[in-house]
Amino acid sequence: MEPNINNKDHEKREDEEEDQYGVLLYYKYTQIPDLDELFTFYHSNCYSLSLLGRVRISPLGVNVTVGGKLSALKKHIAEVESNSLFHGTDFKLAACGRPLNDKVAEECGFTSLSIRIVKELVTLSSNPLLKSPEFSDAGKHLSADEFHSMLQRAGQLDKESTERDRDLVLLDARNLYETRIGKFHTPDVETLDPGIRQYSDLPSWIDDNSDQLQGKNVLMYCTGGIRCEMASAYIRSKGAGYENVFQLFGGIQRYLEQFPDGGFFRGKNFVFDHRISVGSSDANILGTCLLCGVSFDDYSSRLRCSYCRMLVLVCDSCQRKGSVYVCELCKNHHKGVELVSSSENGRLSSMPQQIERETVSSDAKPSSQLPWRQAVGSPPRKLRILCLHGFRQNASSFKGRTASLAKKLKNIAELVFVDAPHELPFIYQPSVVTESHKNCTSLPSSLLQQSPPPPPSEHCRKKFAWFVAPDFRGKSESESDNLDREWKMGDGPFDPLQYQQQTAGFEESLAYIKTVYAQEGPFDGLLGFSQGAAMAAALVCAQQTRRRLLQTGEMEYGFVILCSGFGLTKLMEVEEEKIQMLKCPSLHIFGSDHGKDRQIANQASRKLASLFDEGCSVTIEHDSGHIIPTRPPYIDQVKDFLGPFL
C-alpha cells in the first residue's frame, strides 16, 4: 500500500512548527493569594519547557514576556489557563525568528530566565512614597474594532458624529524612543505625545498637562495594554472631569493584528523583546536619524544616549566607532551640548559659561553619567543634591555648616553648593553703646563717649540671598567687584521676622537656578536651609501649578529636603487661590516647640510642611537650634528618607 502523501506533508508541517520559535506576552491584574506558590509554578514550568525571558510576580498580578519553541509556549498557556486566577487573560503569541545576535538577546533578557517577586508590575511613579492608584479604577477597555470606530467617527466630523465622538483626545502612554518610530494619527483628533524618557515620568506629565485632559474623552494606548491600566487609573483618580478614560485592550499589538494595513497607526510598534519592532503592511518609515535626519527606524544596533542611556536612532551612514550620542531630551536639558567624536577628545562639550559652585563628595572626579543612570561596572552611584543656603550666607559658609552632614552622607550623596544670585551689602550694628545706654548713669563716661566700632578690617566674602525686600537695590557691577566694599551701619536692631518681608527677587532666582541646572545638572533632589528652603518650596509650587512657565523636564528632581523652612504666602498662592497639596516627596527638618531655633518659628516650618501631601512627606522635629542636626536618631531618619531614591 502506497504511503499517504498528504499525511506526510501534514506531519512535516507539525515537525516544523515544533521547531519554530515564538514569543509570548501577557499580563493579568488580580489578587495573588500566595506569591511563593505562584513563583514555584513559574520556576518549574518555564524551566521544564526551556523558556527564556522575564516573569514578574506582584501581589496584584503577573507580567510575562518569554520566548521558546511555539509548542512549548502553547503548553505554557494551557498550564496557566488551568489556574482560575488567569481566566480572561489575553495571551499574545507570535511566531518569529530567533534573536538577531547575542547583544540584542542579552539586552532584551532572552539569554536567561528571570523570575522575580516585585512590589509593582510596572512602576508608575519614581516617587517611592506615593501610593499607586487602584487598578480596579482603570479606564474602560475598548477592543481594536471599538477603538478604531471611535477614531473613525471622531475624524469624520460630520453631522452623524456625536459631540462625544468629536471631543476626543488620544494619549500615548509610551516612552519617546517608542513614539519616534510609530504612533496613531487620525485627522482632526489631537494626539498627545508626552515625550518622556521612562514610564515613571508619565504622572508628572499628566499633572502638568491635566487641562488638556479634563472634560475630554481620553483614549489611551500603549504597546500591549499594561501601562494603560495604571496610567488610566491615575487620570481617573483626579476626580470630576476625568471620568471618561478609555484604553485600547491588548494595545497596539492587538490593533495591528486586527488591522494588518495599520489602520490609523503609522510606523512600527516598538516591542520589548528581541523582535525590537513590529510593523504593518504599510512600509512608510516614521523615525529619523538623530544626526542627519534621514528616514530611519531600525534599533537593532542598540545605540544609546551617552548621558541617559536611552535608545537613539542613528543610521548606518552616521554610525562611527567610539562616537558618543546625545538624545533630544538631554540636548534640551544640556543646552549647547553637541555630538563629539571620541577620536578627537572623547568628551562631550560643556557650556561656556560656568556657575561658581562648591561640591562635597568623596569622588576624585565627577561622573559624566546622569544621576539616574549608572554605567555597567561602575561603583554604586550617589544622589546629587543641589543645596540652597540661607539668607546672608554663601556657598562656602553653608558648605562649612553642613560639613558633618556631608561626611555622614558621603557614601550615598554628593552635595553641590551654589551662591544665590542677589548680592547683599555689608551691614554692622554698634554693640557697645546704644541710644538707651546714653542715659544710663551707671556706665563709665569713657564708654559713653566711644564711637561705634569699625567694621572688620579683614576681607569678608560676599553674602547672598534668594529673596530680598521689595525696595532692595542691587549692587552695580563695579560695586560688586570692588574689594574694598563699603560697610553700612544698620538702621535699627535686628528684626527676627524680617524674612516675612523678603518677597521680591524670585524671578531672578528662578532664572539663575535654571542656568545652574543647565550647566551643573541634573540633580536628584534639592536641599534648602531657612530662606533656601523657602526657595525650594517655591520651585515645587511653581512646577506643580505651571505659574512660572517651567517646561516639562527643564528642572527635574525627585525630592526636596526643607530645613528650618518657611513658606512665602505671596509665592505660594496662585491667582488668589490657595494651592492644592504639593505632591513632591519631601523631608521637613525643624526645631520642636521646645527647640532653640530663634530664627524661624516652629509654626512657620510646620505650616510649610502642611502644604505637602502627607502621603509623601516625612517630618523630623529636633531639640537643637537653627541647624541641621546630624546626631542619631536624626541622621538615621535622613538616610532612611534618601534610601528609596538610590
588 vs 518, more confident: 588
pLDDT of residue 475: 53
pLDDT of residue 425: 78
Is the predicted pLDDT of residue 512 greater than 60, yes or no?
yes
Nearest of 128, 40, 197 to residue 559 by alpha carbon: 128
Nearest of 566, 568, 602 to residue 469 by alpha carbon: 568
pLDDT of residue 266: 92
pLDDT of residue 277: 83
- 103 falls in which pLDDT band (50, 70, 90)? low
Q: Indicate the average pLDDT of the chain.
A: 78
Reported as a single tens digit per residue, the pLDDT across 194-251 is 999 888 889 889 988 889 999 999 999 999 899 999 999 999 998 899 999 999 999 9
267 vs 479, more confident: 267
Write out the H or E segment, with its range, that includes residue 632: none
- 623 falls in which pLDDT band (50, 70, 90)? confident
513 vs 133, more confident: 513
- Report the DSSP beta bridge partners of residue 192: 171
CA distance 349 to 341: 10
pLDDT of residue 335: 36
Sign of the CA dihedral with 296 first, then 301, 307, and 309 last: positive
Question: Do 369 and 510 meet the contact criterion of CB atoms below 8 Å apart?
Answer: no
pLDDT of residue 500: 67
- Which of 106-120, 412-426, 470-484, 629-643 shows the lowest mean pLDDT across its residues? 470-484
pLDDT of residue 95: 85
What average pLDDT does this structure show over 265-293?
Answer: 85
Percent with pLDDT over 90 in the chain: 38
pLDDT of residue 489: 60
CA distance 280 to 268: 7
CA distance 563 to 569: 18
pLDDT of residue 25: 93
Question: Do 220 and 249 meet the contact criterion of CB atoms below 8 Å apart?
Answer: no
- Which of 55-64, 154-163, 226-235, 334-343 shows the lowest mean pLDDT across its residues? 334-343
CA distance 422 to 424: 6
Percent with pLDDT over 70 in the chain: 71
pLDDT of residue 405: 95
Q: Would residue 222 show up in a list of annotated catalytic residues for this protein?
A: yes
409 vs 545, more confident: 409
**445 DSSP assignment:** H
Sign of the CA dihedral with 306 first, then 307, 313, and 317 last: negative
| Claim: this prediction has a pTM higher than 0.85 | no
CA atoms within 13 A on the CB side of 379: 10
pLDDT of residue 33: 93
CA distance 113 to 424: 62
Instruction: Say which of 46, 222, 308, 584 is annotated catalytic.
Output: 222
Q: At CA 270, angle to CA 65 and CA 374, rounded to 5?
A: 75
CA distance 302 to 313: 9
427 vs 308, more confident: 308
358 vs 642, more confident: 642
Is the predicted pLDDT of residue 15 greater than 60, yes or no?
no
23-53 burial, b at 16+ Cβ within 10 Å, e below that, comes to bbbbbbbbebeeeeebbebbeebbeebebbb
